[in-house]
């Protein structure tokens, strides 16, 4: 694509931030990529690996960054903090976006800056890994992955949204525009509740068998189900704190369905996952819909 920005600053040079920098460079979407991270070791590693070209010292010295795009790839709590207090670091007319996994609180923090002279569009790449740090960054991380953009509720400045969508398309992402509330409800069910389920499953299994026995006996199914449990918990604390109601509602719906399955296992003389006539249910997802689809919250 034609270079849209001369300079981009990535705030937070971990897996997602460094991958975004590499993807920008590969797509030719900007002239240079600066970076900043509160952890000097992470910033130095991103520089050494060539993910970023330079450190954006304005964030340390209290100055104003000269970048035209600021990409916030820190944990959600730090994104909210930046949007509430970091506005003086952003040049007038610049575009600010983020990669946070929740959007309502992030967009609310941006909207609270009524005196800001920069433009904000919320964002969330539905891509990543349980691994962390710039050493695991990949230029193709966003390829064929959903990428949600949440524009301001007042619909102001559609040019910023258009610029970001064009850039993300050039990175191979599948851009989806939706409201912050729609995003948080969907991701509670697709990502945030599954994280808790994975942790709960791992904890339950280890209570009865122990970690050493699990490693010896676990097959790919168990490993797939519990892979998320090894994700950094500090990141998930922020996500769950800023989307607690939607995650709780998602868990309520899941618990209802699991409770019905448990009651069936304990209360039926026949095999509980067969119809009353003994006919077997469909396979795969069709079976899940057949078995659990009738169990809904009041």
Residues across the chain: 298
Q: Which residues sit opposite 95 in a β-bridge?
A: 69, 119
Q: Which helix (H) or strand (E) holds 105?
A: helix 104-111
Report how far residue 125's alpha carbon sits from residue 145's, in angstroms, rounded to the nearest whole number.
Answer: 7
Q: Domains for the chain: give ranges and CATH numbers.
A: 5-178 (3.40.50.720), 183-292 (1.10.3660.10)
- For β-strands 30-36 and 5-11, DSSP reports them as parallel
pTM for the full model? 0.86
In a structure prediction context, what are the per-residue pLDDT tens digits for the chain, which is 298 residues long?
Answer: 556 799 999 999 999 999 999 999 999 999 999 999 999 999 999 999 999 999 999 988 788 999 999 999 999 999 999 998 877 889 999 999 999 999 999 999 998 887 778 999 999 999 977 778 999 999 999 999 999 999 887 766 789 999 999 999 999 999 999 999 999 999 999 999 999 999 999 888 888 776 677 777 888 888 888 888 888 787 889 999 999 999 999 999 999 999 988 888 887 645 555 655 555 556 666 656 665 665 565 5
Query: What is the number of other CB atoms lying within 10 angstroms of the CB of residue 242?
Result: 24
- What contacts 283, CB < 8 A, 6 or more positions away? none
Q: HEC string of 278-289?
A: CCECCCHHHHHH
């Amino acid at each position: 694509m034609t270079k849209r920005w001369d300079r981009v600053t990535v705030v937070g040079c971990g897996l997602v931030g460094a991958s975004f920098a590499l993807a920008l460079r590969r797509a030719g979407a900007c002239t240079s990529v600066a970076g900043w991270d509160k952890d000097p070791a992470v910033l130095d590693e991103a520089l050494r690996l060539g993910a970023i070209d330079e450190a954006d010292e304005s964030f340390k010295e209290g100055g104003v960054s000269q970048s035209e795009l600021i990409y916030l790839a820190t944990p959600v709590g730090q994104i909210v903090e930046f949007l509430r207090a970091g506005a003086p670091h952003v040049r007038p007319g610049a575009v600010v976006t983020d990669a946070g996994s929740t959007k309502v609180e992030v967009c609310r923090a941006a909207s609270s800056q009524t005196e800001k002279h920069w433009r904000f569009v919320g964002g969330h790449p539905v891509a990543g890994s349980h691994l962390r740090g710039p050493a695991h960054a990949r230029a193709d991380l966003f390829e064929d992955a959903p990428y949600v953009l949440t524009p301001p509720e007042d619909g102001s400045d559609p040019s910023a949204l258009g610029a970001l969508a064009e850039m993300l398309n050039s990175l191979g992402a599948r851009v989806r525009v939706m409201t912050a509330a729609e995003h948080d409800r969907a991701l509670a069910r697709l990502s945030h509740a599954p994280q808790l389920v994975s942790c709960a499953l791992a904890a339950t299994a280890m209570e009865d068998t122990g970690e050493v026995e699990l490693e010896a006996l676990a097959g790919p199914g168990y490993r797939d189900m519990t892979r998320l449990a090894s994700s950094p918990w500090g990141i998930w604390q922020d996500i769950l704190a800023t989307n607690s109601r939607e995650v709780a509602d998602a868990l309520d719906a899941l618990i209802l369905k699991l409770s019905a399955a448990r009651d069936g296992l304990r209360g039926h003389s026949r095999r509980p996952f067969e119809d009353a006539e003994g006919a077997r249910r469909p396979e795969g997802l069709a079976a899940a819909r057949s078995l659990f689809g009738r169990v809904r919250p009041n």
